[in-house]
């Protein structure tokens, strides 16, 4: 007998247009589509071509019209400010319409970009929805990035307006946003015409010419209605790390995104309208876009917006308190959050202080879910712990245990099976350059057969060539995810590593190439390599190895702190770049390629073979010695 999961997978594969047209019935369209899938211009595919729709209407207004006006849409829980507040769907409509009025007064129209640089406060979600209401395109930038990263995004997205707040709060540290924003605008060639700033009581910011006080502007504005846009129009741009220091502008459209996210809430996450969903992430990441703001609201759930950390916030057991206080049904976070909780309370004693009976499922994603952490969470919480795998580009899960379609047995170390709508293949290049699919058990590049389902990126912002080069050129007819892994005999997928030089630090995706560019800009650095080394809390952290110019007179003790500081200043604290060492030379192949993988294995204490192509094997001994002097490998295996 086939399971509901298998039937759904087959339906989506056999007739994707019919499958997604049925899913699209859950969305309110201003005009229905001419074609479900426009495949006339491969490799560019567009979903719901000809349809008109408004994302904010579907996330907010229609729920008020359907009688959910009094239901909490968003619960703001902020242990770092001691605040808990709820916005009903009616409140959210009112606030969103007014902020959309502010943007309209500032000249923002359909298709214009608006940069959102905000901490985890309700106004950040309101800002995103207000853009969607006008058909403007938001680009949210995570608060932990430095001014230079912000400037790069301003120059690429060319926003007309910036929405920001005076500060963010990192438990004990106030992060002033305005000086960072001002610095970024000085650096950028494009100059936004206005900034609207929300003053927070913890730290006010001085307003300059062209700056507007948020509350004053909202008080003076008339509410704006939802503007229907083409389903294929962009809803947002979210920048993500590529293999160089230049981030990629992932584009999300309106129609496909609405349909896919709504479908995922029910079928992947098993959520019903009216239930409380909590994604403990940040709006600056894709998890925050999809599962703090859009999906729960589109589906008529209550979303929790949490400002704080899992540990170190004023009260211990913060996650358990939030679940108990708000009746959370599903929690989604990164494994690193659970590693932090486990470290603070290994026996899970704090859990006993709270009533967690509302919690049905814990979802983990963003990095590899190590079996120890998954096992600990299963034992302590006594609910299914679902590892699932996806990325900024797809916007919603590629592989998961779809609890809404009937949970499958869990295998630790695997995010279970492909989600209906996707077609995952494990590929490898043959010697003649053609590609072939690998049989179960063999590790290769994880690719997705085109077309991608609705909700995934249609292209990169103003960069169709970059989209093709980055994702579609390696295997013709496939999108390459950048991850390597295998499928076992039962069809379970295993994600083993990246095929590029991206690393994953506390669930945050970062480019070692980008950090190398920054280190190389130091006047005394001749050559450098950044590798991701294993870390028991953050999964991976970056480690820099630098070769100084001959004749450099200063000591390692003087230079290393400078290297740490320039990465913090230019990329941001989120990089967690804290360790670097000076070496005489870097190991390379005879053709000059730096052997980063070999150095990573040495740093992690993993057995390695000396590559046949190495130009001088003796260098590896030197690297071993240097790493050992700074404490690597951390725990010999």
Question: Is residue 267 part of the contact set for ligand AMP (CB under 6 A)?
Answer: no
Please, which of residues 388-447 interact with ligand COA by CB under 6 A?
none
Part of the chain binding ligand COA (CB under 6 A), chosen from 11-19, 332-340, 345-353, 543-551: 332-340
**152 or 333: whose CB is closer to ligand COA?**
333
| Out of 24, 167, 472, 506, the residue judged to bind ligand COA by CB under 6 A | 506
R_g over Cα of the chain: 24
Q: How far apart are CA 240 and CA 242, in angstroms?
A: 6
Binding mask 139-178 for ligand AMP (x = CB under 6 A): ----------------------------------------
| β-sheet bridge partners, residue 310 | none
If we measure between CA atoms, which residue out of 286, 281, 285, 284 comes closest to residue 304?
A: 281
Q: State the minimum distance, in angstroms, from the CB of residue 36 to ligand COA.
A: 31
String marking each residue 458-497 x if it binds ligand AMP according to CB under 6 A: -----------------------xxx-----------x--
Q: Which residues of 439-449 are buried (b: 16+ CB within 10 A; e: fewer)?
A: eeeeebbbbbe
Which partner from the list ligand COA, ligand AMP, none does 78 bind, CB cut-off 5 to 8 Å by kind? none
How many residues are given for the chain? 637
Say if strands 435-437 and 424-429 run parallel, antiparallel, or are unpaired: antiparallel
Nearer Cβ to ligand AMP (51/377): 377
| Residue whose structure tokens are 């979303």 | 303
For residues 303-322, which are near ligand COA according to CB under 6 A? 309-311
User: Minimum CB separation from ligand COA for residue 144, in Å?
Assistant: 3
Kindly tell me which of 11 and 412 has the beta carbon lying closer to ligand AMP: 412
- Written as one string, the DSSP assignment of 385-424 is EEE-B--TTTSS-SEE--GGG-PPPP-TT---EEPTT--E
Residue closer to ligand AMP by CB (options 24, 235) is 235
Q: Is the separation of the CB atoms in 126 and 96 below 8 Å?
A: yes
Among 55, 240, 470, 512, binds ligand AMP (CB under 6 A): 240
Q: How far is the CB of 390 from ligand AMP (least distance, A)?
A: 6
CA–CA dist 43, 47 (Å, integer): 13
C-beta of 587: minimal distance to ligand COA in Å?
Answer: 29
When CB distances are held under 5 to 8 angstroms depending on the partner's kind, the choice from ligand COA, ligand AMP, none that residue 334 binds is ligand COA
Tokens of 2: 């086939």
User: With respect to ligand AMP, which residue has the nearer C-beta, 36 or 238?
Assistant: 238
Which residue bears the tokens 């603070």? Answer: 344
Contact positions with ligand AMP (CB under 6 A) in 355-414: 365-369, 387-389, 391-392
Question: Toward ligand COA, which CB reaches closer, 64 or 318?
Answer: 318
Q: What x-and-dash track marks residues 270-309 binding ligand AMP by CB under 6 A?
A: ----------------x-----------------------
Q: CB-hemisphere CA count at 13 Å for 514?
A: 26
234 belongs to the binding site for ligand AMP (CB under 6 A): no
Comparing CB distances to ligand AMP, the nearer of 61 and 387 is: 387
Place of tokens 């994707």: 16
In angstroms, the CA 189 to CA 634 distance is 44
Lay out the site mask for ligand COA across 336-365 (x = CB under 6 A, - = otherwise): xx--x-------------------------
Task: Please measure the distance between the N-terminal and C-terminal CA atoms of the chain and give it in whole angstroms.
Answer: 45
Tokens 């379609």 identify what position? Answer: 405
C-alpha pair distances (Å), 126 with each of 123, 133, 244, 544: 5, 10, 32, 40
- Between residues 237 and 620, which has the closer beta carbon with respect to ligand AMP? 237
Binding partner of residue 240 among ligand AMP, ligand COA, none, CB under 5 to 8 Å per kind? ligand AMP
If the CB atoms of residues 249 and 288 are measured against ligand COA, the closer one turns out to be 288
Tokens of 413: 């170390």
318's contact among ligand COA, ligand AMP, none, with CB below 5 to 8 A by partner kind, is none
* 8 A C-beta contact, residue 530 and residue 512: yes
Q: Which burial class, exposed, middle or buried, applies to 468 when counting CB atoms under 10 A from its CB (0-12, 13-18, 19+)?
A: middle
Q: Which of 574, 579, 619, 623 binds ligand COA (CB under 6 A)?
A: 574
Give me the long-range contacts of 581-584 (CB less than 8 A, separation at least 24): 581/543, 581/544, 581/545, 581/546, 581/556, 581/626, 581/627, 581/629, 581/630, 582/545, 582/546, 582/547, 582/548, 582/556, 582/626, 583/545, 583/546, 583/547, 583/622, 583/623, 583/626, 584/547, 584/622
Among 35, 309, 449, 498, binds ligand AMP (CB under 6 A): 498
Q: Are strands 229-230 and 52-53 parallel, antiparallel or unpaired?
A: antiparallel
Q: How far is the CB of 364 from ligand COA (least distance, A)?
A: 9
Q: Is 175 in the site for ligand COA (CB under 6 A)?
A: yes
**Residues between 265 and 294 with contacts to ligand COA, criterion CB under 6 A:** 281-282, 285, 287
List contacts with ligand AMP (CB under 6 A): 240, 286, 365-369, 387-389, 391-392, 415, 481-483, 495, 498, 504, 509
List contacts with ligand COA (CB under 6 A): 142-144, 168, 170, 175, 281-282, 285, 287, 309-311, 333-334, 336-337, 340, 366, 506-508, 537, 573-574, 576
């Amino acid at each position: 007998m086939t399971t509901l999961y298998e039937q759904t997978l087959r339906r989506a594969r056999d007739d994707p247009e019919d499958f997604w047209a049925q899913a699209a019935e859950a969305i309110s369209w201003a005009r229905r589509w001419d074609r479900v899938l426009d495949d006339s211009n491969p490799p560019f595919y567009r979903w719901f071509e000809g349809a008109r729709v408004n994302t904010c209407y579907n996330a907010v207004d229609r729920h008020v019209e359907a009688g959910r006006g009094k239901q909490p849409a968003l619960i703001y829980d902020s242990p770092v400010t001691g605040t808990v507040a709820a916005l009903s769907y009616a409140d959210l409509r009112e606030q969103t319409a007014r902020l959309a009025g502010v943007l309209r007064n500032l000249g923002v129209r359909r298709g214009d970009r608006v940069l959102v640089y905000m901490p985890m406060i309700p106004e950040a979600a309101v800002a995103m929805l207000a853009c969607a209401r006008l058909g403007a395109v938001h680009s949210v930038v995570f608060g932990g990035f430095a001014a230079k990263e912000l400037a790069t995004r301003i120059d690429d997205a060319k926003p007309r307006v910036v929405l920001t707040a005076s500060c963010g709060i990192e438990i004990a540290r106030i992060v002033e946003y305005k000086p960072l924003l001002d610095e970024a605008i000085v650096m950028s060639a494009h100059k936004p015409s206005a900034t609207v700033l929300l003053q927070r009581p913890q730290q006010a910011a001085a307003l300059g010419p062209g700056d507007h006080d948020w509350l004053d502007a909202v008080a003076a504005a008339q509410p704006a209605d939802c503007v229907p846009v083409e389903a294929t129009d962009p809803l947002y741009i979210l920048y993500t790390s590529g293999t160089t220091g230049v981030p990629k502008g992932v584009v999300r459209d309106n129609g496909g995104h609405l349909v896919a996210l709504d479908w995922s809430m029910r079928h992947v996450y098993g959520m019903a309208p009216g239930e409380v969903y909590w994604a403990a992430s940040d709006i600056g990441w894709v998890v925050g876009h999809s599962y703090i703001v859009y999906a729960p609201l589109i589906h008529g759930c209550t979303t929790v917006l949490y400002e704080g950390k899992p540990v170190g916030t004023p009260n211990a057991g913060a996650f358990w308190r939030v679940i108990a206080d708000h009746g959370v049904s599903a929690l989604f976070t990164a494994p690193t959050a659970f590693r932090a909780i486990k470290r603070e309370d290994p026996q899970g004693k704090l859990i006993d202080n709270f009533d967690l009976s509302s919690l049905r499922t814990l979802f983990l994603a963003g990095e590899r879910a190590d079996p120890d952490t998954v096992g600990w969470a299963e034992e302590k919480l006594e609910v299914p712990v679902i590892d699932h795998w996806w990325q900024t580009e797809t916007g919603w899960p590629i592989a998961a245990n779809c609890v809404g379609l009937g949970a499958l047995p869990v295998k630790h170390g695997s995010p279970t099976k492909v989600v209906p709508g996707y077609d995952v293949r494990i590929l490898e290049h043959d010697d003649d350059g053609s590609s072939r699919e690998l049989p179960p058990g063999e590790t290769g590049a994880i690719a997705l057969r085109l077309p991608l389902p609705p909700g995934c990126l249609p292209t990169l912002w103003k960069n169709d060539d970059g989209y093709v080069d980055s994702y579609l050129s390696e295997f013709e007819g496939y999108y390459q995810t950048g991850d390597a892994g295998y499928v076992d005999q039962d069809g379970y997928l295993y994600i083993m590593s990246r095929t590029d030089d991206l690393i994953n630090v506390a669930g945050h995706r970062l480019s070692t190439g980008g950090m190398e560019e920054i280190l190389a800009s130091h006047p005394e650095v001749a050559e450098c390599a950044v590798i991701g080394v294993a870390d028991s809390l953050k999964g991976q952290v970056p480690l820099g190895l630098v070769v100084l110019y001959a004749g450099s007179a200063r000591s390692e003790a003087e230079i290393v702190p400078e290297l740490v500081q320039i990465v913090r200043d230019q990329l941001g604290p989120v990089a967690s770049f804290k360790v670097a060492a000076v070496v005489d030379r870097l190991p390379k192949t005879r053709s000059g390629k730096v052997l980063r993988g070999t150095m990573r294995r040495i740093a992690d204490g993993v057995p390695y073979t000396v590559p046949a192509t190495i130009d001088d094997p003796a260098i590896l001994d030197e690297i071993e010695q240097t790493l050992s002097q700074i404490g690597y490998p951390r725990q010999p295996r």
